Structure 1
Amino acid sequence: MTGDKSPGGAADGPTGGSRGELIGSGRSADVYALGAEWVVRRYRSARDTAAEAAVMRRVGSYGYPLPALRPGPFAANEMVVRRIEGPTLARALTTGDASAAEGAALLAALLRRLHRVPPPEGAPAGHRLLHLDLHPENVLLSPAGPVVIDWESAGVGPPGLDWASSALILAEASLRLDLAPLVELFLPEFLVLAPPELGSYLTAARERRERIPGLTAEERALPGAAFALLPPLWADARARYDAERHP
């Protein structure tokens, strides 16, 4: 919900010579086929992917579902990961293959599972590894189960910030007319599964989203507009949570 995945042509680059079909494009990177089993994610800016790869290796070492990294060396702004076949969760929601309640439960379970991964040594007390861009377009439904992609924003911090970031991204998507009906069903289901600390980190999530490099003026206004939608939805979710668990 932060960038479209679209097909394209071919390209050449430093990773093994020729890259194949352009199979995905987001705000900051393009993804090309690299043979039948791998894809190369190439950032358009001079970005070092070492930190992102380190987070992925740590998370993957604890069995979290993400694409396997192929050993390098690669160009500094590239990484090669296992190709995952399957639709995004967003696609499954759109086609009706997954209901809003099922999709929200899956997204919430992936966040909880990620936050059980031990953080790196020296992390502040209570901090965990965070994805910070976990939404239905970044979950692939492979035959073996869900796989989380796009770890560009990952880092260490309080879990509530991860939940708040996902909620805010979903609220931003609700402002897009083509996604509004879907998200209006999905977002309340997601919020009722969220921990109470989500509410404490909504402001931090908004400020973080507003600082994303390269936003247009229209895009920079989205987090604030989305933030304004969330308080009544969050209040309704807490009331529903209490009613369902303490009737």
Structure 2
Amino acid sequence: MGEPARVKLGQGRQAEVFEYGDQKALKLFYPGTPLHVVEHERNVSRVINEFDLPTPRTYELVQDEGRDGIVYEKVEGPTLLKVLLADASKMAWAGELSAELHSKMHACRSDRLPSQKASLERRIRSAQIEEDIRDKALHALESLPESNEVCHGDFHPDNVLLSPRGPVILDWVNATRGNRMADFVFSALILKVAEVPDFIPNADLFNHGRTELFKAYTKKYLQHYPASMQEIVPWIFPVAIARLGDHIPSERLRLLKIISRLSRQVE
């Protein structure tokens, strides 16, 4: 008889997650993922573990059948997205919870995380868009204020897990030190343009209700960190192109509409 089948806990664009003993989980990256990408995530996650934030503990790097992986603390429970797919009436509650978690994150500061502006610049340069628009975005980004708040870089309901001990924030691979307004705009933009694929049960209910999620999130967040439109709006154009650089096909048309409208307003 062979080895028992490994229990898969989930999967994403870069990796699969499996059980790894009683209290641990193994994030196993797909073949061909460069080792430096895996090491980067492990190192960033260890920095995040030093803060009073709800996030899984990070352990060692391992190799499994030629694939690189990271061992994490196993945290059980549904993601916030899964809860919303089961009950779309919880949109406002989920938006407020997301804002509370994001605000707590932005209260932390670090000089040991990668630069947010450097991360956004790489993503902008990766975007498939006209060169003049890319240059506008890079110029706009350069003029925006820097800071050293802890920023997630991809914070949305599928990266929040509802565990018995409370909500836990997952997937810190894009974490940076930077300006909280940029991170807020990035998350608000995801809620605005991202859709759950039609083949997912109840996707239509979520996609119709996500406006309520967006409104609740932005309202509650701005209660924690009040900001004027003059502080928020300049980030939208470069952040939208950075998100385009993540190459998510289902978001491309919506992002291009936003980018086209804003590019006419940027010098």
Q: TM-score, normalised by structure 1?
A: 0.74
Q: Deviations over 1:158-184 (max 9, x none)?
A: 111111111111112258662312312
Partner AA of 1:57 in structure 2: R
Partner AA of 1:26 in structure 2: G
Partner AA of 2:26 in structure 1: V
Cα deviation for residue 31 of structure 1 reads 1.1
Question: Structure 1 residues 91, 217: CA separation in 2 closer, same or farther (over 3 Å shift)?
Answer: closer
Is it true that 1:223 corresponds to 2:255 in the alignment? yes
Instruction: Decide whether the 8 Å contact of 1:168 with 1:227 is kept in 2.
Output: no
Instruction: Decide whether the 8 Å contact of 2:147 with 2:177 is kept in 1.
Output: no
Q: 1:194 aligns with which of 221, 227, 230?
A: 221
C-alpha distance in structure 1 between counterparts of 2:88 and 2:58, whole Å: 29
- Tell me the equivalent position of 2:187: 166
Q: Deviations over 1:122-172 (max 9, x none)?
A: 979623221111111110010111001111221222111111111111112
Cα deviation for residue 94 of structure 1 reads 2.8
Instruction: Name the SS for the 1:40 alignment partner.
Output: strand
Instruction: Decide whether the 8 Å contact of 1:29 with 1:42 is kept in 2.
Output: yes
C-alpha distance in structure 2 between counterparts of 1:101 and 1:54, whole Å: 34
- Tell me the equivalent position of 2:242: 208
Cα deviation for residue 47 of structure 1 reads 4.1
Is it true that 1:85 corresponds to 2:71 in the alignment? no
- Tell me the equivalent position of 1:138: 159
Q: Deviations over 1:58-113 (max 9, x none)?
A: 2221220011112x242484211111111111122233397222211111111111
C-alpha distance in structure 2 between counterparts of 1:191 and 1:219, whole Å: 20
Instruction: Decide whether the 8 Å contact of 1:140 with 1:146 is kept in 2.
Output: yes
Cα deviation for residue 186 of structure 1 reads 0.8
Instruction: Name the SS for the 2:161 alignment partner.
Output: strand
Q: 1:63 aligns with which of 31, 37, 52?
A: 52
- Tell me the equivalent position of 2:142: none
Choose between structure 1 and 2: higher helix proportion: 2
Quick one: higher RCO (CA 8 Å, sep 6+), 1 or 2? Answer: 2
Question: Structure 1 residues 51, 198: CA separation in 2 closer, same or farther (over 3 Å shift)?
Answer: farther
How many matched pairs?
211
C-alpha distance in structure 2 between counterparts of 1:229 and 1:23, whole Å: 41
Instruction: Decide whether the 8 Å contact of 1:85 with 1:142 is kept in 2.
Output: yes
Instruction: Decide whether the 8 Å contact of 2:195 with 2:250 is kept in 1.
Output: no
C-alpha distance in structure 2 between counterparts of 1:68 and 1:204, whole Å: 33
- Tell me the equivalent position of 2:173: 152
Instruction: Decide whether the 8 Å contact of 2:35 with 2:68 is kept in 1.
Output: yes
Instruction: Decide whether the 8 Å contact of 1:127 with 1:158 is kept in 2.
Output: yes
Moved over 6 A (4+): 226-230
Instruction: Decide whether the 8 Å contact of 1:135 with 1:170 is kept in 2.
Output: yes
Instruction: Decide whether the 8 Å contact of 2:56 with 2:75 is kept in 1.
Output: yes
C-alpha distance in structure 1 between counterparts of 2:197 and 2:20, whole Å: 33
Give unpaired runs (5+ residues) of structure 2.
Answer: 116-144, 263-267
Instruction: Name the SS for the 1:53 alignment partner.
Output: helix
Q: Deviations over 1:169-219 (max 9, x none)?
A: 11122586623123122111112223434433211221111112xx36555
Q: TM-score, normalised by structure 2?
A: 0.69
Instruction: Name the SS for the 2:78 alignment partner.
Output: coil
Instruction: Decide whether the 8 Å contact of 1:172 with 1:225 is kept in 2.
Output: no
Cα deviation for residue 229 of structure 1 reads 10
